[in-house]
Structure formats: structure tokens, C-alpha cells
Amino acid sequence: MTFSHAIVTSPRPPGDGPSVGTYGRVTAWLSKRVEFALAQMDLTLPQYRVLGILAEGSAAASGLAGRLAVRPSSVTAIIDGLLARGLVDRKHEEGDRRRIALRLTDEGARIVAEADRAVDDYLASIAAHLPDEDGVMVLRSLELWGQALANFHQARKPQ
């Protein structure tokens, strides 16, 4: 695929909304809107990422650092906060007591569903500021980004 820095255009007047110049800048501002939506549930972006993983099934802590692209000590810090709020449950695995098994509590499952809903609705409300077909398209494009990310990580996984 060829690539050009296509959307670096003329400067806009200062004080006029977010800075949207390149693909990276757009993504940077989009993620800020996600953080804003998550604040309704008093969740941070890292917490939401972890809850999203656990919503797909319980996971070992050992795998989380790699999936989150952070160090193990950062996983501990995030999990500590979620434990304190009763959103996740932590116990030693039987068979290998070095390993930690993590799973959502019922409250955690409720919160992540609420967060998914709130963030998706908020993103949809932003997309609604485009012409109808474009609004539908940009939301659908996020599904493709999800697929791209999955393929990307799959390609990087050691066999």
C-alpha cells in the first residue's frame, strides 16, 4: 500500500477545536473522547482495555502484559485498582501456584457492558456530525481497524 501524508493541510485558526492534522493526530484526539466517555463510569483507558480482555474470558496475568504492551508491574498496578473496586477477582492457579488467574466479577461484567455502550454511543454521536453515509462508514471502519489490529498482532506472534 502506498502512503502519503494527505491530510496535513492549512493551519486552522487557534482555539478552534481539537488539532486534526494527520492520521496519528486524529487518533490521538479520538482516544481523548474515549477517555471522556469512560470517565462517566470512573474508568481509565488502561482499565477499560483490561476489562475488555477479561470480558472475553478469564486470563492469566502472565499473558496480560504482552497483550496490553506494558510491563508486568504495570499490570499489577491496574489490577490492584480493579480489585479494590471489586471489578475483578484474583487467585492462584491450581497446578502452578506462581500463576495468577483473573476473571471479571458480576459487577465487573456489568461495568464493562455499560462502558462499551457508553463509549460506542458517544462515538456514534460524534460520527453523527458527518453526512449520513459517512457517519455510518466511519463507524464501520472501526470494525475493520479491529480486524487490522488482530491480523497485525497475529503476524507478530511467535509460532
Partner DNA sequence: TATTGTTATACTCTATAACTATA
Partner DNA sequence: TATAGTTATAGAGTATAACAATA
Q: Which of 29, 62, 123, 139 binds DNA (CB under 7 A)?
A: 62
End-to-end alpha-carbon separation of the chain, Å? Answer: 26
Q: What are phi and psi of 103, to 5 degrees?
A: -150, 155
- Per-residue binding letters, 4-43, with DNA (x by CB under 7 A): ----------------------------------------
Contact between 40 and a second copy per CB under 8 A: no
- Does 87 participate in binding DNA (rule CB under 7 A)? no
- Tell me: does residue 29 bind a second copy (CB under 8 A): yes
Q: Which residues bind DNA (CB under 7 A)?
A: 44, 46-47, 60-62, 68-81, 84, 90, 95-100
